Amino acid sequence: MNWNDLEWLRSAPSTCGHQRRAHPEDAARAVDAGADGVIVSTHGGRNLDGLPATIDALPRVVEAVRGRIPVMLDSGIRRGTDVLMALALGALCVFVGRPYIYGLAAGGAQGVERVMNILRDEFAAPWRLTGRRSLAEIDSSVLWLKQAGETPIRFFVRCGGCMNGTAHHKVLIFSMMS
């Protein structure tokens, strides 16, 4: 896929594009090319040791799009506090995959429900501790940073629908696969 393909993808209903690296310049280019949103993702795993985790790439991608389109996070969400950290770093929402698969394998539908409840509870308690009354109030001030601009070392995390519960948005998936 290249940037010229985005116009064609936008003409197809409910289409997702796929870009091979999560770089801030690509996110800015996605905005210019007309993407409705970006998903920062490793698309199942980092292939190279030196690539950043999605949570580390997220702040730069958020900065690059400057609020013009939603930024979402996929990959690396294992606990509720991961969700809070992603929201605090500027993600509109997160996508959860592996924990649900683990729950399904361990206990079928009940296992998935249990995982959802655990994630919700693991998110709710730290959210309350931040003193924020709504999801909209969650920002980077809920994080302890090593130094300004560095990855959080302590954090406190969003469950729920993405982009107002609509599914018609076309998004460009930024993946760190080589």
pLDDT beyond 80 at 175: no
Sign of CA dihedral 171, 136, 87, 26: positive
Note the Cα 160 to chain centre separation in Å.
13
Which residue among 18, 23, 43, 169 is the active-site one?
43
Mean pLDDT to the nearest integer, 148-165: 40
pLDDT beyond 90 at 160: no
The encoded tokens of residue 152 equal 């959080």
| Mean pLDDT, all residues of the chain | 75
Our answer to whether residue 169 is catalytic in this structure is no
Q: How far apart are CA 64 and CA 31, in angstroms?
A: 9
pLDDT beyond 70 at 29: yes
Of 14, 30, 101, 24, give the one whose Cα is nearest residue 61. Answer: 24
The encoded tokens of residue 112 equal 């998935």
Q: How do residues 68-116 score in pLDDT, each as one tens digit?
A: 999 999 888 899 999 999 999 999 999 988 898 999 999 999 999 999 9
Give the least confident one: 5-9, 81-85, 110-114, 133-137. 5-9
18 or 121, which is more confident: 121
83 or 45, which is more confident: 83
Give the least confident one: 32-46, 78-92, 121-135. 32-46
